[in-house]
A and B are shown apart, each in its own frame.
Chain A
Amino acid sequence: MASGKISFLGQQQNREVAELGLRLKEASENVTTNQMGVQHSVKRPIIKKVLETMAAGMDVSPLFGDIVKAASTKDLVQKKLAYMYISVQAEKNVDLVILAVNTFQNDLQNENPFVRGLALRTLCSMRLTDYVPYMLKSLSHALIDSSAYVRKTALISCVKLFHLAPKEVLDASLIDQLYNTLRDRDPEVVANGIAALNEILRSEGGMTINANIALYLLQRLREFNEWHQCLVLNTLIRYKPSNEDEKFDILNSLDDRLKHHNSGVQLATIKIFIKLTEGMTEIQQDVYKRIKEPILTLLSLGSPEIVYSCLEHVIALMNSSHQFLREDYKYFYRKVKEPSFVTLRKLEILEIIATEKSSKDIIDEISGYITGKDKLITQRSVESITKISFRIESVISYSLEIFMKLLETGIDIIISSIITMLEEFMNESPEKVESSLSVLPLIWTTIDLNSKAGPAFLNLLAIVGYEIPEAPYILESLIEDLENYPTTSFRLQLLDSTVTLFLRRPVECRVMLSKLFKISMEQTENLDIRERALFLYRLLQNDIEKAKEIFKYQRYASKNNSKKDNINMKSKHLPEFNTLSILYGKPSEQFIVELEPIPGLFSKRKDDDFFSSLSLHNISEPDELIPVQPQNLVKEEFTLSSTVSVDAKKFKSYWEGFKEIYEFEVSLLDSPISLTRLTLDDIEAVFEENNIMTMASGGTGDFIKLFLYAQETGSYILMLCEIKLNFNSKIAKVIMKVGHETDQIMNLTKHSEYFSQYLTRCIKICFNSVN
């Protein structure tokens, strides 16, 4: 049935395409005039229809010949539409492309420069190696064309061709020609020349910039359009002035760019300013003062996305200059109708810039966000106030006062967030918190006990339990109702809290404790809970005095220390200012997956290294990712040991000891198979084939988890990783740690990068090849 339906649809589609072909053949070249008095060629709407059909996913390749014919027309719109078709369909109709060559030939000679440019652009975007010599010939003419439009198109076409046939492009001595275009009259041509050189010479770090070129580009900077100014500035940043005078000349000549209307230009300029003044502390301080106003204007006027990026960059700048924007904290207050992702970043900044003087103002402001409608903001606002109070101790009481007041709102999300934070406050100033915890019995029914707030509440309750008469009864009702609170952390804390309270008030708690032990040991599948219950049970049975001692010290046990978070701000990398690195808060090596040639790998063979790096570069193309077997990739300098063996104890100690930690995600969305059909054995087998050993693995229904390790033979560097694969989202979360058995300090970046790429590829292979 189903197949019959499909073939019927197929026939229907074929008929539609055939009909379009017929209409194309019949349509005359004449123009008609429609009722609006506008002239149209008859073919134009038909080709449009063809393009729409193509976009809908139907096979329109039978029409190739007809469309090529339609491309030779005086109607420019029709020509463009036909070329649009040809550039998409050429690769599927390699044999027929020869038909189009004649059209290209004519159009490349056309008197209209736009037609020449269009033909060249389309010709070079066909990825057909057979036509490379023809393309090269056309290019060399186009590069010296009289029209700037054709010349600038030719330059980008060079890059396209370079990716298609690198060797031919380099042999054709185009590089010299490209450097010559830098002297072109037309700024767009110059800019594309720079772009082309940067990309073609990328293995050498891009275009060479000497003092002459730098000065020349600076002089012409204002001629470029805003986008090309970004390009030129980002290229200029590689230039290292030889003396201070030169530095100041550059600073002065770029000063007005800080006021440019395009934030891309502004940020590129700021980056140059910071780079040039590196190591000149006083002048750099002036630079920070100079860029303050432009940045504040961006924050006030930019679109939300730009404000978001700007806030991340402000964090980076604050990291290197702590005084930066300290006084201007009011600019980081929330604005009307602001998307939440912006507000969250602002909170982060407010946490950092609060000072002794401003902290009270800031806390007042943030406390206004807590009662808003957005839950995420409520939570984060409570956290921010907490963080500020931990850093600036004079406001602790003030914050607590606000929190206590807010506890009376009766809104569950507010109360839950505050309770979670109060647990942390307990570490900082127990006395102040304890005195105010008498409200717990009044509010506990509003707390979402299955969230983080649940264990926090239990912990607080245990701490002040001896003073609160209702405490045992609260615990009792929770124990009665235990099936409603399934989370492990809640159950564990409930055990701890009940024991704590039992040690203080044995009479009231004895019955419920024994009931809790019974449930936890007999009716629970969860090993953690059972073990904890068993441990506590034995402890109480053996030595009750000892237990009292232990529980006295456990009082304010808290999981994370927020004070530390505050000092270790996101590590931001100024060298990667104005790039995505700042937004991700990590250096580009950790998220740019593309295989850069690994330094050292090719250095031995200097002569042909350029091309071997290219072959490696090609491998990183996503389409080719899957079929490549990882074995092929393993160079002699990087082999994984097939005999490595690590026992569980060592694994654990390495896992805790290795400092080089990476987290990334691998999407398996394009995996053709249903992931749930894979067994752990299949997966482990694939990893083992590739010399990645399994330490432990397991899984339930929706996800599986694997602990793996591998060792590089030459350096003995170890890689450990945890892979969590969610079948529903088809995303594998990977935590990878790299280090050396002997703890010796060495540069692991290179290896880490390689390991992560290797691992990613293995995961992909795993889920595409196992049947």
Chain B
Amino acid sequence: MSNIFEMISQFFILSPQRGDVLILRDFRHDTPQDTPGLLLDRLKTWQKDHGTEQDPPPIFNVDGFHFLFKNIQGLYFVCTTKFNVSPFMIYELLGRVAILIKDFCGILSEECLRLNSSLVYELLDEIIDYGYVQTTSTDRLKSYVYEDPIQVKRENIFMNSLAKLKAPGTSLGSSSNRPITHMRDEKSVKQNDVFIDVIERLVASFASNGMTVRAEIDGSIQVKSYLQGNPEIRLGLNSNIILERNKDMSRSDRYGIVFEDYKFHDSVDPTDFEEHKRMIIFPPEGEITIMNYRISGDVSLPFRVFPTVMRVPGYPNRMDVTIRIRTDIPENRFANKCTLTVPLPHVTQSIYNENMDGSNDQSVQYDNRIKNVIWTINNLQGGTEQSIKIKITGSASFSTVAELEVGPIRQVIITLISFKIKL
């Protein structure tokens, strides 16, 4: 039988450290009460059995009760069900619920959930009824949900962001961390803000001579809107974007960026996109991803990395790793912060680094526990080159294949791109 049943039984949020259940809503009362305990067990046994700190696959079942979960910023968002549901729908839902909680409460953290639990329950009851998803539209939910958010105090956010330094990628800007609903009777004038983020993740692998083996960009455009009355926003992209469907063009005619595939959110009217690369957005309040796209093939890379590993003759326990980075962005642009993470061989004992260009804007950190070197460069100017030499000493001789253990180098670059905004 096909899956005509898409009901979930419970939703809960579990904080794994102490096993606290922050939120638990039982919609259908058809699964055991202690499901969070079962999940906690599963997480612990998996990590013990496999000697890893990684999560187990995001699904398992006990006695015909299925657990689907998603780790969001260290909290487990979980659905349980008895039915043969669509996993995609459930995972999308879990992600969406997390965003909604963030939209309504300001930020997503353990403390915030504790403070706002009745708001979250109110929200959940409107999102899901008896296991059936009703709506996740912020506009609709705003008119159903009455509780006011309690904002987590400033210093706590700071604490939180400190904790997040360990897990970069979630940067906190204060203005976009306020809840979308404001105190209803607040005297202050509401700000009409809209935040647009273009996030591109570039995955490239280089051969040792610096040639690109593979390059791929996954991009998404995210909008967080505090605009009242859903005004329309027009957003135009570079006109030299080529869409994969125009296959009739021969390869040589293509000059520009080729979108292999792309998709839009429901709130986007893309009728003009194919022709003029323009879209009209009617952003609901809160955070949404309005567009996703994928570029592969001829990607012109903003940076190139050239690593070399040399042995020191006569010293079997020493190696020199030299890393050179070249920026191929216009000279008037800067990369604010660029970090390169380099895994080193497991016998590495200590490192010594030589700053080859004498510039002050960089630093090297070595974590002996996980044998990683992190090289940070601030304000990397376009069209320039920087390099470091890391001299490593091992506790024993390096094996003949220790080079294999160096890398893969991971690079995180934060650049400032100026948007032209026409109002």
Q: B residues within 8 A CB of A165?
A: none
Q: B residues within 8 A CB of A206?
A: 4
Q: How far is the CA of A77 from the CA of B347 in the complex (A)?
A: 61
Query: 1/0 contact trace for A566-582 toward B, CB 8 Å?
Result: 00000000011011111
- Neighbour of B2 across the interface among A37, A306, A575, A669, CB < 8 A: A575
* B298 interface residue (CB < 8 Å to A): no
A531 to chain B, nearest CB (A): 31
State whether B4 touches A159 (Cβ < 8 A): no
Q: How far is the CA of A308 from the CA of B136 in the complex (A)?
A: 24
State whether B132 touches A156 (Cβ < 8 A): yes
- Of the candidates A199, A310, A410, A760, the one having the most CB atoms from chain B within 10 angstroms of its own CB is A410
- Tell me the chain B residues, 56-75 only, with Cβ under 8 Å from chain A: 56-59, 61-64, 66, 68-70
State whether A263 touches B266 (Cβ < 8 A): no
A485 to chain B, nearest CB (A): 20
* A770 interface residue (CB < 8 Å to B): no
State whether B146 touches A264 (Cβ < 8 A): no
Q: B residues within 8 A CB of A237?
A: 2
* A588 interface residue (CB < 8 Å to B): yes
Q: How far is the CA of A584 from the CA of B260 in the complex (A)?
A: 31
Q: A residues within 8 A CB of B70?
A: 303, 305
Q: A residues within 8 A CB of B68?
A: 305
Q: How far is the CA of A355 from the CA of B244 in the complex (A)?
A: 26
State whether B260 touches A296 (Cβ < 8 A): yes
Beta-carbon nearest neighbor of A575 in chain B: B2
- Of the candidates B57, B264, B405, B410, the one having the most CB atoms from chain A within 10 angstroms of its own CB is B57
**Stretch from B30-38, B301-309, B316-324, B349-357 at the A interface:** B30-38
- Tell me the chain B residues, 233-282 only, with Cβ under 8 Å from chain A: 244, 260-266
* A394 interface residue (CB < 8 Å to B): no
- Tell me the chain A residues, 544-574 only, with Cβ under 8 Å from chain B: none
- Tally of chain A residues near chain B (CB < 8 A): 108
B392 to chain A, nearest CB (A): 16
Q: How far is the CA of A374 from the CA of B53 in the complex (A)?
A: 9
- Neighbour of A592 across the interface among B82, B94, B183, CB < 8 A: B82
A702 to chain B, nearest CB (A): 14
* A406 interface residue (CB < 8 Å to B): yes
Q: How far is the CA of A231 from the CA of B402 in the complex (A)?
A: 54
A488 to chain B, nearest CB (A): 20
**Stretch from B104-112, B171-179, B214-222, B358-366 at the A interface:** B214-222
* A518 interface residue (CB < 8 Å to B): no
State whether B64 touches A593 (Cβ < 8 A): yes
The SS class assigned to the A binding surface is helix
Query: 1/0 contact trace for A253-269 toward B, CB 8 Å?
Result: 00000011111101110
* A84 interface residue (CB < 8 Å to B): yes
* B159 interface residue (CB < 8 Å to A): no
- Contacts A230-B6, A341-B57, A669-B34 given; does A261 touch B264 at CB 8 Å: yes
Q: How far is the CA of A308 from the CA of B404 in the complex (A)?
A: 28
State whether A576 touches B84 (Cβ < 8 A): yes
- Of the candidates A205, A206, A336, the one having the most CB atoms from chain B within 10 angstroms of its own CB is A336
B81 to chain A, nearest CB (A): 9
Q: How far is the CA of A389 from the CA of B118 in the complex (A)?
A: 58
Q: How far is the CA of A507 from the CA of B57 in the complex (A)?
A: 54
A62 to chain B, nearest CB (A): 21
Beta-carbon nearest neighbor of A374 in chain B: B52
- Neighbour of A375 across the interface among B51, B147, B244, CB < 8 A: B51
B124 to chain A, nearest CB (A): 11
State whether A294 touches B261 (Cβ < 8 A): yes
- Neighbour of B89 across the interface among A227, A261, A341, CB < 8 A: A227
State whether A669 touches B38 (Cβ < 8 A): yes
Q: How far is the CA of A225 from the CA of B405 in the complex (A)?
A: 49
Query: 1/0 contact trace for A392-425 toward B, CB 8 Å?
Result: 0000000000000110111100000000000000
State whether B85 touches A580 (Cβ < 8 A): yes
Q: B residues within 8 A CB of A121?
A: 125, 129
Q: B residues within 8 A CB of A341?
A: 54-58
State whether A576 touches B87 (Cβ < 8 A): no
- Neighbour of B92 across the interface among A188, A238, A263, CB < 8 A: A263
Q: How far is the CA of A483 from the CA of B335 in the complex (A)?
A: 60
- Contacts A301-B220, A410-B399 given; does A578 touch B38 at CB 8 Å: no
Beta-carbon nearest neighbor of A235 in chain B: B4
- Contacts A230-B86, A234-B3 given; does A297 touch B130 at CB 8 Å: no
Beta-carbon nearest neighbor of B143 in chain A: A114
- Tell me the chain A residues, 302-340 only, with Cβ under 8 Å from chain B: 303-306, 308-310, 330, 333, 335-337, 339-340
* A741 interface residue (CB < 8 Å to B): no
State whether B32 touches A670 (Cβ < 8 A): yes
- Neighbour of B64 across the interface among A39, A195, A368, A591, CB < 8 A: A591
Query: 1/0 contact trace for A115-155 toward B, CB 8 Å?
Result: 00000010001010000000000000000000001001100
Q: How far is the CA of A309 from the CA of B69 in the complex (A)?
A: 12
Q: How far is the CA of A226 from the CA of B92 in the complex (A)?
A: 10
State whether A160 touches B130 (Cβ < 8 A): yes
- Contacts A237-B2, A411-B346 given; does A37 touch B185 at CB 8 Å: yes
Q: How far is the CA of A341 from the CA of B53 in the complex (A)?
A: 12
State whether A260 touches B95 (Cβ < 8 A): no
* B339 interface residue (CB < 8 Å to A): no
Q: How far is the CA of A297 from the CA of B217 in the complex (A)?
A: 11
Q: How far is the CA of A588 from the CA of B87 in the complex (A)?
A: 14
Q: A residues within 8 A CB of B1?
A: 205, 588
- Contacts A303-B70, A375-B52 given; does A308 touch B2 at CB 8 Å: no
State whether B3 touches A406 (Cβ < 8 A): no
- Tell me the chain B residues, 123-166 only, with Cβ under 8 Å from chain A: 125, 129-130, 132-137, 143-144, 146-148
* A705 interface residue (CB < 8 Å to B): no
* B385 interface residue (CB < 8 Å to A): no
* B382 interface residue (CB < 8 Å to A): no
A664 to chain B, nearest CB (A): 9
State whether A621 touches B30 (Cβ < 8 A): yes
- Neighbour of B50 across the interface among A152, A225, A376, A411, CB < 8 A: A376
Beta-carbon nearest neighbor of B244 in chain A: A293
* B212 interface residue (CB < 8 Å to A): no
Q: How far is the CA of A271 from the CA of B2 in the complex (A)?
A: 10
State whether B86 touches A760 (Cβ < 8 A): no
* B88 interface residue (CB < 8 Å to A): yes
Query: 1/0 contact trace for B163-199 toward A, CB 8 Å?
Result: 0000000000000000000011111000000000000
Beta-carbon nearest neighbor of B24 in chain A: A55
* A666 interface residue (CB < 8 Å to B): yes
Q: How far is the CA of A296 from the CA of B263 in the complex (A)?
A: 12
Q: B residues within 8 A CB of A267?
A: 86, 88
Q: How far is the CA of A375 from the CA of B262 in the complex (A)?
A: 36
Q: How far is the CA of A267 from the CA of B137 in the complex (A)?
A: 21
State whether B64 touches A592 (Cβ < 8 A): yes
- Neighbour of A80 across the interface among B66, B122, B137, CB < 8 A: B122
Q: B residues within 8 A CB of A582?
A: 87
* B378 interface residue (CB < 8 Å to A): no
- Contacts A306-B92, A408-B399, A409-B399 given; does A371 touch B261 at CB 8 Å: no
* A497 interface residue (CB < 8 Å to B): no
State whether A578 touches B3 (Cβ < 8 A): yes
Q: How far is the CA of A149 from the CA of B129 in the complex (A)?
A: 12
20 extra interface residue pairs, beta carbon distance < 8 Å, beyond A39-B185, A263-B89, A373-B343: A80-B122, A195-B6, A227-B134, A227-B135, A231-B132, A234-B4, A237-B2, A259-B263, A297-B263, A297-B294, A300-B294, A341-B58, A405-B401, A409-B402, A409-B404, A410-B347, A580-B84, A588-B84, A666-B63, A729-B41
Residues of B within 8 A of A (CB): 1-7, 29-32, 34, 37-38, 41, 45, 50-52, 54-59, 61-64, 66, 68-70, 82-89, 91-95, 117-118, 121-122, 125, 129-130, 132-137, 143-144, 146-148, 183-187, 203, 214, 216, 218, 220, 244, 260-266, 289, 292, 294, 343, 346-347, 370, 399-402, 404-405, 408, 410
A-B CB proximity, top 6 nearest = A593-B64, A264-B89, A227-B133, A341-B57, A293-B261, A263-B88
List 7 A–B pairs whose Cβ atoms lie within 8 Å, in order of A's numbering.
Answer: A114-B144, A192-B134, A230-B89, A264-B88, A309-B91, A580-B61, A667-B38
